[in-house]
């Protein structure tokens, strides 16, 4: 299941709903919640920060079941940014002591089983994988 959204301004909800409408989502509500949270974090970051203000952007979003992995792939031609290179927040600090930002990426790294980032042909590609049990597996 793959779709290109263009422009992406004000379309975070539409993109998230598209990905979460996939027919092979896991049976577990807990897994669905984890997947949705990671999709929301990644999509919102892309729609808000990937493109310079006023620049029309696109986002190619796909979701598929590959073996026991639910694979979410997000590709854009925005500003080069590898979220996996960001420092994890120190969650032992109180909210007041922590720096703003970075918690969403940290959650994705924690909740998904595998996350990869590639930059090629002037495009960012983020791939998030979750081992799942579905009705069809």
Residue pLDDT, tens place only, 79-134 = 999 998 876 655 665 666 656 555 678 899 999 999 999 999 999 999 999 998 75
Whole-structure pTM value: 0.88
2-131, CATH topology level: Heat Shock Protein 90 (3.30.565)
CB atoms within 10 A of CB 124: 21
Phi and psi at 103, nearest 5°, equal: -70, -40
Place of tokens 């949270």: 37
């Amino acid at each position: 299941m793959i779709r290109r959204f263009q422009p992406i301004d004000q379309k975070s909800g539409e993109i998230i709903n598209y990905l979460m409408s996939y027919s092979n989502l896991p049976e577990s509500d807990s897994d669905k919640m984890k997947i949705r949270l990671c999709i929301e974090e990644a999509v919102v970051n892309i729609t808000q920060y990937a493109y310079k203000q006023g620049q029309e952007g696109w986002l190619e979003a796909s979701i598929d079941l590959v073996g026991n992995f639910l694979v979410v792939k997000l590709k854009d031609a925005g500003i080069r940014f590898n979220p996996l290179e960001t420092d994890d927040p120190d969650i032992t600090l109180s909210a007041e002591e922590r720096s703003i930002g970075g918690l969403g990426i940290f959650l994705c790294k924690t909740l998904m089983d595998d996350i990869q980032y590639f930059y090629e042909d002037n495009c960012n590609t983020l791939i998030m994988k979750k081992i799942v049990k579905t009705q069809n597996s």
